[in-house]
Structure 1
């Protein structure tokens, strides 16, 4: 049989883990009780960390993890409006002894599946959407205890019921004479647990409550006269009624344990939101923070802030709008029987009054305010691994302050400070700490001297830093060690990408090791696709070496060796490819051509020679041949006349329509500007299409639709406009040729001037009357050539 705890010495305060009403009630209760010991739901391994509470800035979280195996880790978050944080803050100010009383992380992490999380059943401040540990309990007992109480009160939404009864209670100063909610909460939870008693008990919940009682008994034996226990509301009855000590000991005896380390880390409101997957999360951390921190008139102040934000975004909002919005929220709350307007009423008033019915305008600010994103901070004296301390020092030195909201960072790599910042972000990515995400902005310069990043710090990155601590004590050292470890087993294409990453990260020593490994792998690898994939990153690395003022001779040497092997093996690799393989090869050829242009010199010449040799082969897929001709044409290796002849041959009647369509697809892929500016080529394509047999046209139409559908809409319109004025067959070619004929009469003055400049003998002057006649003949109908008087003024 159990016995009831001495309620004269023990006061159990059942709370919701993140709720402003619960937090205010806990603060009022503690100031009235003045306890000499405070027990708080949380991992006992963090007892020594409570000394840091005065220096912490919430939201923060306790992190418990297994050293050397950070896959086993858990977070216990605290916001300014968390009752547990209020209790910690009170104990620090009042000098009361404070302890955490939940199941030790050494036990909960040993039982939990590997993977970091904020799981309430592991002892964190988790719980139901509406109080206590409820939702975790709801999943286990198949009944939501808060749902039962809400239904009994006539509510269909447990969240709204808990808000009305607890969270939106009057704040300090207006709470005089209002009874404490904790006796009622204890009575209600006792009744609900009695109703759920036939349900099978969760062994983990039983162990948690057994350990809570063990810590409470220890505090009683230590002689504390006023003990306050702050825990989830669901646990209150279990702490008031104590079973035998032997029964609790039996529940805890022989359980597996793991070694655990604990520390404080910054947290964010975004991670406190229920939408982030946190079982104990709340719908609107920003609203709860506002309710807890605003002394009076929370509705009026909220709407005033919404109006200010709308005005900052260029929306016309006056004080009259705010007054009417306040009236509307009050009317809605009265109609719905709520003691205070909630977030739903504020959202409706913002949309209907401040934004004059525009939901889109309301969404500009309401979502931002409801989340109220903010990030906490921890002092330098917080236990950290050396890698965390080095990163913090780098952030201070480079003035890169971590924050939860994504923000853009533009870096000009010609500046020393920008290169140092870029190197830090690339080093962090190498060790798996993705603080920054590089992105390409099409509106900005595409040169290699500019980088654009999107920075956003997530609390989980602290755990990633702890895990990366095994690679070194500094960011640079850890990144270099990680790069060497990857290089030891990476395939050839990944090695070249790693070389590029090391160069961007400024890891010169690691680059030499990776290049040596790359040369060995390249000598062994005879897969042409692997070699082609390996060249572009090396070429980019050589260019980055120039921009970042690091040596690139070794990079260019290795890239040249790879290019030579690609050029030698390109022909055999292209023979007899299927359609899918040909598509992949076209992409690889484009990438290698870009690399050859970057490398320049002999590499580029050898590459164009290799393309020229395969472009005319019959055993090479049409798509590849067409692409090779496009590159050769744009590089100036073959002229327009040669290109036109080869296009005519490729689209002649002797060529199967499918191969001709694939040839044209390869030639035109990447943009339609060539057809817009070269009417002769357009005429050839038009003539080929016009001469196709009906069934052949049907067969090649899907390929053509895919080719032309990839062009931009303005390009397609321009091609259509030019095609409307083309003929078909041989006449189209003649017309295109005639359109490019030179008018020798109009060109004669320019030729004579050029001859004088060059010192050549001038051509015989043309008779003025003849020249005039030629100009009149060449002028469009209805227009007079320049220099001639208008009709009737001769």
Structure 2
């Protein structure tokens, strides 16, 4: 298929004359960033022209790093990372994939001994702008007039609604003919567009193009016309303009500067699929990589990979499925008038044949193949901030290789290596480098095990650079960061959370400063709710300190003081609360109750806490949800028996109690707590009390309490709800025998029968039976 004709356009008044390419001169290759068709064309054009120097669009300071691209350890996708020395968070990326034309040009030049130069505006100016990550396709600024998408304009001229489809048809899917043919046509088309719309972009484009012309002039002085330029197709017409050196330098005069550092960092296909930085934002990097790398029969190879992936996930896919899918993709391409099957056709064929019409397995193909989790690699000799070098060393020592795929990591803190891994991950989290996230259900349990979910994102290199202001090692930086947070923390809960983080991260040098701040804040804070909110983190910190062998004596003193103040202040603080405040306080009480069990010596403290709960359960001025929760906690701890629980419920559900308050008591007693429904299933008296109260609620009041009761009982497991419904339908006691109790349960525990399971448990746990 021949390239499209350029968009017709009349020259607008006041516009610059349309440049004409000189008869002889440098080889100008206008490309689309991350386009495999452009990359193949660039390679063929360079083979034919054999230039002595290759100029590539990218920050000029990267000339010093280009030799690293020849290192065998370098594997794309990678990116040039530039960051401001004094403000590492101010950073910009220039990603390059294996199918990026710029990467192909760099490797071609290095393999053949040709010179490589980067010709775009230096990062020292780019990072000094307001938005250093603006790419060539970002929306234009308000003061810059309309920003056009040249690919979309050319696609519309050719009658295409989808620019991506047009580009695939005219460039990516071209299998025959001269692969360099599109360059001349694209240059002419871009010239027509620029003639119609002016520069059509951000004012920075004019500055960038002036710098590119200066670099091109310098290269021609050194190498003559044996120079090839690989840049965005939009910039090609600007490089042929006949301007003076003085005019170009005038555009660059007075540009702001900032001191910068550059390096190579690994990148991912998944990150390429998100728009950020130079030329990123391709929708299907995995598909593009396949088109570029497949030596022949790309559709057949793609279907084979999709079938292999689906079979690995236990989907029944056979060779016959692959053959039929290829035929369907080719038939769809013919019906749609496309030169070859593209991503749309292959996706439709995979859905219809391999996935049997289901989008569920198709989502797997899109995630693993169309996008992919390929992570690049850079050589150890690449420049890096000291903190990054220390992190790399620790990763290698602990055998924690950064990976783009999300993976789970289970740690046994009693093992030295796992303990060091845990400390490293916690230190990085303290520094804002969230490589690992504690897995749900395991974080903060205070046990000997931790579960993490790891995933390395390219942006974490910037976070490491930012954290470098705190120190040159991970431990030193995390210690300095913790001390700073201790001085600036806003509340007591923040300080206790920080103390927990320090213990998890093993930052013994930071603990004194954190403990001083904690003691000061605890002494001044009189709000019981905030004390109760802060206490659980403190208790977890004590447990973790005990597990990890950390001295937590000072922490224990603060925790003891907090418990005393909570026990004294909680009953009056719970009186007269409205519904929302009472619900929030219930969460605080639950947190304190669970945290008390983590304290090393909780005997006397538990007795004191039980007395507080008893006062809450007995006080009428305390909201029903808190009285109900206090009664339930006492029952679970064995502090009160069934004989005491029933009168408490009976009083709470008496006819004189407002229905809303009674419903809140039920919610506190059996809602939001493990086993709440089973308690009613196995205790006939409590179920009868609830049933009698519920049937006695008037119709008007029932409408008001229904939402709360519905929320309470909806938290139960389906089996529990079904059993309660059956018992309620039969009526409490209907299924019981002459003796009270639950069918299948004796009136009292049989210790001899219970002990019979102990030998089996010892065998399962690998422990010897104790006599």
TM-score by length of 2: 0.88
Q: Distance in 2 between matches of 1:217 and 1:463?
A: 34
Q: Distance in 2 between matches of 1:276 and 1:253?
A: 28
Report the equivalent of 2:677.
Answer: 672
Instruction: Select 1:94's aligned residue among 107, 112, 120.
Output: 112
- Matched position secondary structure for 2:488: coil
User: Contact conserved, 2:31 with 2:230, CA < 8 A, in 1?
Assistant: yes
| CA apart distance, 1:219 | 1.7
Specify whether residues 72 and 364 from structure 1 end up closer, same or farther in structure 2 by C-alpha distance, changes over 3 A only. closer
Report the equivalent of 1:655.
Answer: 657
Report the equivalent of 2:231.
Answer: 231
| CA apart distance, 1:575 | 2.1
Report the equivalent of 2:526.
Answer: 526
Instruction: Select 1:623's aligned residue among 609, 617, 625.
Output: 625
Q: Distance in 1 between matches of 2:441 and 2:662?
A: 37
Report the equivalent of 1:32.
Answer: 48
Q: Distance in 2 between matches of 1:346 and 1:542?
A: 57
Specify whether residues 267 and 644 from structure 1 end up closer, same or farther in structure 2 by C-alpha distance, changes over 3 A only. same
2:372 is equivalent to residue 372 of structure 1: yes
Deviations 1:219-261 (A, max 9, x none): 2233534111111111111111222323222221112222221
Instruction: Select 1:53's aligned residue among 69, 89, 92.
Output: 69
2:506 is equivalent to residue 506 of structure 1: yes
1:537-686 correspondence runs (5 A): 537-599=537-599, 600-669=602-671, 670=673, 671-686=676-691
Report the equivalent of 2:764.
Answer: none
1:134-145 correspondence runs (5 A): 141-145=146-150
| CA apart distance, 1:60 | 0.5
Deviations 1:535-573 (A, max 9, x none): 111111222223223334433332111101111111221
- Matched position secondary structure for 2:181: coil
Instruction: Select 2:151's aligned residue among 124, 132, 146.
Output: 146
User: Contact conserved, 2:147 with 2:200, CA < 8 A, in 1?
Assistant: no
Deviations 1:675-721 (A, max 9, x none): 11111112222233344445444443443333323333322222222
Report the equivalent of 1:788.
Answer: none
Q: Distance in 2 between matches of 1:596 and 1:414?
A: 24
User: Contact conserved, 2:86 with 2:259, CA < 8 A, in 1?
Assistant: no
Report the equivalent of 2:765.
Answer: none
| CA apart distance, 1:587 | 1.0
- Matched position secondary structure for 1:315: coil
Q: Distance in 1 between matches of 2:150 and 2:645?
A: 79
- Aligned pair count reads 721
Q: Distance in 2 between matches of 1:295 and 1:704?
A: 65
Name the larger-Rg structure: 1
Report the equivalent of 2:58.
Answer: 42
Q: Distance in 1 between matches of 2:331 and 2:661?
A: 74
Deviations 1:77-117 (A, max 9, x none): 1001111111111221222221111122222222223xx73
- Matched position secondary structure for 1:41: strand
| CA apart distance, 1:354 | 2.9
Q: Distance in 1 between matches of 2:685 and 2:736?
A: 5
Report the equivalent of 2:194.
Answer: 193
Q: Distance in 1 between matches of 2:415 and 2:110?
A: 47
Specify whether residues 637 and 369 from structure 1 end up closer, same or farther in structure 2 by C-alpha distance, changes over 3 A only. same
Q: Distance in 1 between matches of 2:699 and 2:339?
A: 78
- Is 351-360 or 499-508 further displaced after alignment? 351-360
Q: Distance in 1 between matches of 2:262 and 2:591?
A: 48
1:254-269 correspondence runs (5 A): 254-269=254-269
User: Contact conserved, 2:45 with 2:180, CA < 8 A, in 1?
Assistant: no
1:380-459 correspondence runs (5 A): 380-441=380-441, 448-459=447-458
| CA apart distance, 1:741 | 8.5
Gaps spanning 5+ residues in structure 1: where? 121-125, 129-133, 754-794
User: Contact conserved, 2:435 with 2:460, CA < 8 A, in 1?
Assistant: yes
| CA apart distance, 1:526 | 0.9
| CA apart distance, 1:178 | 5.7
Q: Distance in 2 between matches of 1:355 and 1:405?
A: 24
2:31 is equivalent to residue 15 of structure 1: yes
| CA apart distance, 1:627 | 1.3
Specify whether residues 572 and 688 from structure 1 end up closer, same or farther in structure 2 by C-alpha distance, changes over 3 A only. same
Specify whether residues 619 and 88 from structure 1 end up closer, same or farther in structure 2 by C-alpha distance, changes over 3 A only. same
Report the equivalent of 2:536.
Answer: 536
2:82 is equivalent to residue 64 of structure 1: yes
| CA apart distance, 1:322 | 2.2
Specify whether residues 741 and 483 from structure 1 end up closer, same or farther in structure 2 by C-alpha distance, changes over 3 A only. closer
User: Contact conserved, 1:136 with 1:279, CA < 8 A, in 2?
Assistant: no
Q: Distance in 1 between matches of 2:651 and 2:331?
A: 81
- Matched position secondary structure for 1:402: coil
Gaps spanning 5+ residues in structure 2: where? 1-15, 753-771
User: Contact conserved, 2:624 with 2:661, CA < 8 A, in 1?
Assistant: yes
2:101 is equivalent to residue 83 of structure 1: yes
Specify whether residues 334 and 274 from structure 1 end up closer, same or farther in structure 2 by C-alpha distance, changes over 3 A only. farther
User: Contact conserved, 1:12 with 1:240, CA < 8 A, in 2?
Assistant: no
| CA apart distance, 1:316 | 2.7
| CA apart distance, 1:212 | 0.8
Q: Distance in 2 between matches of 1:20 and 1:241?
A: 28
- Matched position secondary structure for 1:508: coil
Specify whether residues 278 and 628 from structure 1 end up closer, same or farther in structure 2 by C-alpha distance, changes over 3 A only. farther
Report the equivalent of 1:335.
Answer: 335
User: Contact conserved, 1:528 with 1:566, CA < 8 A, in 2?
Assistant: yes
Q: Distance in 2 between matches of 1:254 and 1:579?
A: 63
Specify whether residues 179 and 110 from structure 1 end up closer, same or farther in structure 2 by C-alpha distance, changes over 3 A only. closer
| CA apart distance, 1:274 | 4.9
User: Contact conserved, 2:76 with 2:96, CA < 8 A, in 1?
Assistant: yes
| CA apart distance, 1:9 | 3.6
User: Contact conserved, 2:395 with 2:401, CA < 8 A, in 1?
Assistant: yes
| CA apart distance, 1:433 | 0.2
Q: Distance in 1 between matches of 2:349 and 2:551?
A: 63
1:734-749 correspondence runs (5 A): 739-740=739-740
Report the equivalent of 1:762.
Answer: none
- Matched position secondary structure for 2:79: strand
Report the equivalent of 1:777.
Answer: none
User: Contact conserved, 2:41 with 2:179, CA < 8 A, in 1?
Assistant: no
User: Contact conserved, 1:17 with 1:82, CA < 8 A, in 2?
Assistant: yes
- Is 464-473 or 278-287 further displaced after alignment? 278-287
Q: Distance in 2 between matches of 1:323 and 1:51?
A: 45
Q: Distance in 1 between matches of 2:98 and 2:669?
A: 63
Q: Distance in 2 between matches of 1:698 and 1:354?
A: 52
Specify whether residues 140 and 39 from structure 1 end up closer, same or farther in structure 2 by C-alpha distance, changes over 3 A only. farther
| CA apart distance, 1:637 | 1.6
